[in-house]
């Protein structure tokens, strides 16, 4: 099987070394496809040039190719069986025109809870949309979505064997949608230290909770990538997951990252059918479903209880389950099965 993994114009490299969403998923698909025995081409200008030493890299984007051009004929003659792309592209006319000329399948994963697809973008067979959680499946029901847990990988983020870990960790972009202040307050209730890892996206949000974020039990780490990021997750006793009341998590990378590192998760959610429920089980984490009408203090206390529950879990078993549940080769094979 020949697979083309397509980049897109953006501010992050492919693969990213730290923060990143779809970029990390596309890299995981490429790695998983190769591990599953497929031949892989990295399509687009965004892939790091030093990957050319080990990968076939073609710096061309389908949406830039003219109809009937030599570039189109060369791509068609290459004989791709499957293209994997960011979720916007099957609704982009210039991209789909070239894709139709290639006569191959396309697969993508929904990484946004609000993007509106063209009515005929997916048929569930030749063009396939994958979604993480029951609430995402429901949101995109008109496009015949297929349920699948996304796998995300960064550059040089291979996980060493699990350890018991100390303290707590929260990782992600720092803004109101991700609500790390709730994790910080839960840690404070328990008298525990917590490391906050990630880039600040909203300084006003941080300022609005400055008393919490500047407390002595909080360590601000900043954005990490590669082995340092993996170590920050692996060395924690519990990964604390939060988000804002109205935010919809489309395909969170942190579940796979934490479980593959062997770190159990304590997750605060505001409704059922979320990514947390899709990703976790009673052997890998503890979930509390808070009432969205209750205040932050009540929610943080519920989250603190979930942290205590998650702390009792076995890190080695968490990693074993995580390596299977979020295996790149398994993930790719699930998406490619309809192309065979």
For 31-81, the pLDDT digits (tens) are 999 999 999 999 999 999 999 999 999 999 999 999 989 999 999 999 999
Residue 155 is predicted with a pLDDT of 85
The answer to whether residue 21 scores a pLDDT higher than 70 is yes
- 322: confidence class by pLDDT, cuts 50, 70, 90: very high
The answer to whether residue 338 scores a pLDDT higher than 80 is no
- 16: confidence class by pLDDT, cuts 50, 70, 90: confident
Per-residue pLDDT tens for 108-158? Answer: 999 999 999 999 999 999 999 999 999 999 999 999 999 999 999 988 888
Percent pLDDT > 70 in the chain is 99
- Positive or negative: CA dihedral 150, 199, 17, 283: negative
The answer to whether residue 20 scores a pLDDT higher than 80 is no
DSSP 80: -
Phi, psi of 4, deg, nearest 5: -105, 125
Q: Average pLDDT, stretch 213-224?
A: 96
Residue 172 is predicted with a pLDDT of 94
Q: Domains along the chain?
A: 2-155 (3.40.50.2000), 168-323 (3.40.50.2000)
Residue 321 is predicted with a pLDDT of 98
Q: Report how far residue 300's alpha carbon sits from residue 181's, in angstroms, rounded to the nearest whole number.
A: 9
Q: Average pLDDT, stretch 311-332?
A: 98
Residue 340 is predicted with a pLDDT of 58
Give the neighbor-by-neighbor strand order of the sheet with 39-43.
56-58, 39-43, 2-6, 82-84, 105-109, 127-131, 146-147
- 337: confidence class by pLDDT, cuts 50, 70, 90: confident
pTM, two decimal places: 0.95
Give the neighbor-by-neighbor strand order of the sheet with 168-171.
218-222, 194-197, 168-171, 238-241, 265-269, 285-289
Residue 59 is predicted with a pLDDT of 94
The answer to whether residue 196 scores a pLDDT higher than 80 is yes
Alpha-carbon distances, residue 198 vs 180, 182, 220, 290 (angstroms):
11, 16, 9, 25
Residue 19 is predicted with a pLDDT of 72
Half-sphere exposure of 28 (CA within 13 A, CB side): 28
Mean pLDDT score of the chain: 95
The answer to whether residue 252 scores a pLDDT higher than 90 is no
Phi, psi of 46, deg, nearest 5: -80, -15
The answer to whether residue 339 scores a pLDDT higher than 70 is no
Closest to 235 in 3D by CA, of 255, 259, 262? 262
């Amino acid at each position: 099987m020949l697979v083309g993994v397509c980049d897109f114009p953006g501010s992050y490299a492919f693969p990213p070394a730290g923060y990143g969403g779809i970029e990390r998923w596309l890299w995981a698909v490429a790695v998983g496809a190769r591990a599953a025995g497929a031949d892989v081409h990295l399509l687009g200008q965004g892939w790091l040039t030093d990957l050319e030493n080990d990968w076939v890299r073609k710096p061309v984007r389908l949406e830039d190719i003219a109809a009937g051009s030599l570039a189109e004929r060369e791509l068609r003659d290459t004989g791709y069986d499957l293209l994997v792309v960011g979720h916007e592209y099957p609704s982009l006319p210039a991209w789909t025109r070239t894709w139709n000329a290639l006569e191959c399948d396309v697969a993508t994963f929904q990484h946004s809870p609000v993007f509106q697809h063209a009515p005929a973008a997916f048929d569930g067979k030749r063009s396939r949309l994958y979604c993480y959680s029951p609430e995402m499946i429901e949101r995109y029901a008109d496009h015949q979505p297929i349920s699948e847990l996304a796998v995300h990988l960064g550059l040089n983020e291979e996980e060493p064997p699990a350890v018991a870990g100390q303290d707590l960790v929260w990782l992600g972009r720092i803004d109101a949608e991700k609500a790390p202040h709730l994790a910080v307050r839960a840690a404070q209730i328990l008298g525990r230290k917590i490391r906050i890892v990630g880039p600040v996206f909203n300084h006003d949000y941080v300022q609005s909770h400055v008393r919490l974020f500047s407390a002595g039990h909080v360590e601000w780490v900043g954005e990490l990538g590669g082995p340092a990021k993996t170590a920050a997750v692996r060395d924690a006793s519990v990964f604390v997951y939060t988000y804002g009341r109205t935010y919809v998590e489309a395909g969170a990378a942190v579940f796979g990252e934490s479980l593959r590192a062997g770190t159990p998760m304590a997750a605060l959610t505001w409704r059922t059918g979320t990514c947390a429920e899709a990703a976790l089980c009673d052997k890998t984490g503890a979930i509390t479903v808070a009432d969205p009408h209750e205040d932050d203090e009540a929610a943080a206390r519920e989250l603190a209880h979930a942290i205590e529950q998650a702390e009792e879990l076995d890190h080695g078993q968490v990693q074993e389950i995580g390596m299977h549940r979020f295996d790149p080769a398994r993930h790719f094979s699930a998406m490619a099965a309809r192309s065979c």
